[in-house]
A = this chain, B = another copy of it.
Amino acid sequence: MAEPRVLVLDDDPPPDLRRLAGRARVLRTDESGLAAALPEADVLLVWNFLSDAVKRAWPGDGPRPSWVHTASAGVDRLLPELAGSDTVITNARGVFDQPIAEYVTGWVLAMAKDFAGSWELQRSHRWQHRETMRVGGTRAVVVGSGPIGRAIGRTLLALGVSVELVGRTAREGDAEFGHVNGFEALDGLLPEADWVVCAAPLTPATDGLFDAKAFARMKDGAAFVNIGRGAHVVTADLVDALGTGRLRGAAVDVLREEPLGPESPLWDVPGLWISPHMSGDTLGWRRDLAEQFCDNFDHWAAGRPLLNIVDKRLGYVPAH
């Protein structure tokens, strides 16, 4: 058999795929060359996971690779276009869990302790004591019961926060959290939470989940954190909710517009903390992502079942 062809939708810096030397022919393309290169590819690695080029090239003319791996946890930039084809999608499930959990926990602590206020005061050379919030004993609702949501919940639990996970399906007997709530429980949980964290996959069921009604249900002084996708939030509704002053703040690592342009008014919304889609990207993350793909290539080349196969109907890798 000829060496299989692995096509990489590239980004800067490119992945280190030296592990595949002698076992695959690695071809690179940018967005503009993707459609033309696809018919020759056995495997597509979506390294530039912020691109929408893949869904635009599907189904397209000619054969398509039977396996697409994306170097991201979310697959919302591949679906629903690839759902109808035979192509198997795998994702980067696992790589980002702990880094994102740390990021969210850092934000919870920073908002509780008013670090931003301290930095503003330092900038103006003012020593001004304030009383801040104890995190132990507070309550969090984490929307998303996959590995990222669970890692967030686990880390908050370790700080003495009580955690309610919300997932697609309610279930009892969860070893770490006691139970997982279904989405239908969210409305009832929001008024009780000090911290509302969005860690869900973006699917039709979660698109725009955080809207004016959801923010209105949150209690005074609650804070919102989004590390899911920008489209989980109705941005104007979040801005309005922050404008009332009722919320402690909102920290968002993802936005509908990415990268956010310098002219966006969002940069200057009081109480809104923006970071550039980096919560999971700790030093070495690109190496980890490339290793994960090479591991899965080993499975594929040996005819073993692929790891992290996405359920294209659900839009994520199911737990079981």
Q: Would you give the 0/1 interface string for A99-113, flagging 1 where the beta carbon is closer than 8 Å to chain B?
A: 100110111011011
Q: What CA separation (Å) do A259 and B127 show in the bound complex?
A: 6
Most chain B CB within 10 A, of A123, A128, A276, is at A276
**Shortest beta-carbon distance from A156 to chain B in Å:** 10
Check A109 against B112 for contact (C-beta < 8 Å).
Answer: no
Which residues in B have their C-beta under 8 angstroms from that of A118? 273-276
Check A131 against B273 for contact (C-beta < 8 Å).
Answer: no
A122 within 8 A of B: yes
Check A106 against B99 for contact (C-beta < 8 Å).
Answer: no
Check A125 against B160 for contact (C-beta < 8 Å).
Answer: no
Which residues in B have their C-beta under 8 angstroms from that of A36? none
Q: Which of B267, B273, B278 contacts A132 (CB 8 A)?
A: B278
Q: Would you give the 0/1 interface string for A134-152, flagging 1 where the beta carbon is closer than 8 Å to chain B?
A: 1110000000000000000
Q: What CA separation (Å) do A160 and B155 show in the bound complex?
A: 10
Check B264 against A125 for contact (C-beta < 8 Å).
Answer: yes
Which residues in B have their C-beta under 8 angstroms from that of A115? 106-107, 110, 115
Which residues in B have their C-beta under 8 angstroms from that of A277? 129
A102-B136, A106-B106 known; A131-B264 Cβ under 8 A: no
Q: Looking at chain A, what size class is its interface with the partner chain?
A: 35 or more
A313 within 8 A of B: no
A302 within 8 A of B: no
Which residues in B have their C-beta under 8 angstroms from that of A263? 125
Which residues in B have their C-beta under 8 angstroms from that of A102? 109, 112-113, 134-136, 159
The residues of A with any CB-CB pair to B shorter than 8 Å are 98-99, 102-103, 105-107, 109-110, 112-113, 115-116, 118-119, 121-123, 125-136, 155, 158-160, 258-264, 267, 273-279, 281-285
Query: Could you name 9 residue pairs across A and B whose Cβ atoms are closer than 8 Å?
Result: A98-B134, A118-B273, A118-B274, A119-B119, A123-B267, A125-B264, A125-B267, A129-B278, A132-B281
20 additional A-B pairs beyond A118-B273, A121-B276, A133-B283, beta carbons within 8 Å, are A102-B113, A103-B113, A106-B109, A109-B109, A113-B279, A118-B274, A119-B119, A123-B267, A125-B262, A125-B264, A130-B276, A130-B278, A130-B281, A131-B284, A132-B278, A132-B283, A134-B282, A134-B283, A155-B158, A155-B159
